[in-house]
Amino acid sequence: MFRGCRVQPTTLSVYLLVTLLILGLVGIAQTKEFTRGSGAANRSIPPSLTITCPPDTLVDCPDCTAPQLCGTATATGCAPDPVLSYEDSVVFYRCPWEYTILRTWSATDDCGNEGSCQQIIAVKDTVAPSITFCPEDAVAECGSDMDALGHAVAFDNRNPEPTTLYEAATRAGQAPCEFIVVRSWEFSDGCCNMTHCQQVVTMVDTEAPVLTCAPPDTFACDEEAYFTRPFIDESCDPAPVLTVATTDTTPGPGPGSYTGCWFAEDRCGNMSNMCCQTVVIEPCVALEDAPLVTSTGGTGFLAPERPGTDLPARFGVTCHPNPLSGSTTISYSLPVSCEVAIGIFDIHGRKVASLLGQHCSAGDHSVAWNGTDDRGTPVVSGMYVLRVDFDSGPNILRKLVRL
């Protein structure tokens, strides 16, 4: 709720009463007669001086307090046209445009008689700021930027920068899928003069959720395969319903390619696009199924190396931990010696880091990735793809999640 001023005097009498209480005066407009003495001595004293103040007055601007506008005192003495002067003092102050002046008039005649009286001038700002622009009531899509609808503007004839208070209150609408935002502005000139402006915005939800599926994923034959839940972009409904559109609710069992598709629907019946993710489960590669390799990479063929009983039976890749917040260890198994290339790629296929590119002997090996690119800069959080290429076996992809 906006703030307001506690007291707003609206008549001259209030200002005069305040001033009189301050000064302890008993009169407002004054006529005073001044003499030099009394009794027999008065026979030789010149006539007395009489001074009369103009009436107390109320003005609505600080520039309207000159005697030409608020009146001038009059005086009579022993000679025509006594000398008049005045002095102002502020006795009550609310703001730069609202205060009370106590004006003391003084008069002196040629005989040396002196006199004074007091006039009260109340300066009051009675004009509130005027609204020059107030946004019209509108209908907007849920999640819209309220600032884009504009803000009210006001002008004040005294204060060039009136104080602005703004608030937006939300309430339920008439329809199930709408709500109301009441935008309110209050402008104050600093002298308790205020004006208000209000805009009613009806927020509706007519836009469907946007569904984004994860990129294709690959799992080794001995890994537990799964689909990644799609990302739902819905600005109004915090819990849209995600529906599976295909029968492949889980990939597998067994090697092959599996596809999962989904769509989302919000509480207002807006239905999203359908998106799909493909998951590939690789067949297990035994030693006897490994391709022949050449010593030079040419066209000649050599028999594959026969490992002992303590060597891996198939190519394999694992990552731990995954997801990772620091570094992860990439372990890979080689049933035969071969060239191995290991790289990290983003979801757009751009290489982020090269971890390995060399000939490795048969057996179990590992390499660490500390979450940085080739320049040593930490990568942003998100999904990445680990690719391991064996020139004597399959290419293996793994999903990495950087926290």
Residue among 224, 218, 222, 214 at smallest CA distance from 262: 214
Q: What is the mean pLDDT of the chain?
A: 80
The rounded distance, in Å, linking the Cα atoms of 114 and 83 is 9
Contact (CB, 8 A) for 294 and 285: no
Out of 2.60.40.10, 3.40.50.1980, 1.10.3720.10, 2.30.40.10, select the CATH number for domain 130-204.
Answer: 2.60.40.10
| Residue boundaries of the structural domains of the chain | 12-123, 130-204, 210-281, 289-402
- Residue 169: its pLDDT value, please? 93
Q: Classify domain 210-281 at the CATH topology level.
A: Immunoglobulin-like (2.60.40)
Q: What is the pLDDT of residues 238-254, one digit of tens each?
A: 778 888 777 566 676 67
Q: Which two tokens stand for residue 201?
A: 């915005």
Q: What is the pLDDT of residues 132-160, one digit of tens each?
A: 999 999 999 888 888 999 999 999 988 88
Which of 318, 336, 322 has the alpha carbon at shortest distance from 397?
318
Quote the longest CA-to-CA distance of the chain.
153
pLDDT of 300 above 60? no
As given in the structure block, the two tokens for residue 33 are: 């007669």
- 346 touches 323 (CB < 8 A): no
Residue 118: its pLDDT value, please? Answer: 95
Q: Answer yes or no: is pLDDT of 219 > 70.
A: yes
CATH code of the domain occupying 289-402: 2.60.40.1930
Which residue matches tokens 């915005």?
201
130-204 and 210-281, same CATH topology: yes
CB atoms within 10 A of CB 393: 22
More confident residue, 356 or 10: 356
At residue 227, does pLDDT exceed 90?
no
Query: Has residue 297 got a pLDDT over 70?
Result: no
Q: What is the pLDDT of residues 60-114, one digit of tens each?
A: 877 788 999 999 999 998 888 899 999 999 888 888 888 999 999 999 998 889 9
End-to-end CA distance of the chain: 43
Report angle CA 47, 48, 50 to the nearest 5 degrees: 130
For residues 198 and 185, give the distance between their C-alpha atoms in angstroms, rounded to a whole number. 6
CA angle, corner 150, sides to 146 and 151, nearest 5? Answer: 100
Higher pLDDT residue, 208 or 253?
Answer: 208
- Closest to 212 (Cα-Cα) out of 232, 194, 187: 232
Most confident of 45-49, 207-211, 236-240, 393-397: 207-211
DSSP letter for each residue of 148-178: GG---EEE-SS-SS-EEEEEEEEEE-SSTTE
For the cut 50, the answer to whether the pLDDT of residue 363 exceeds it is yes
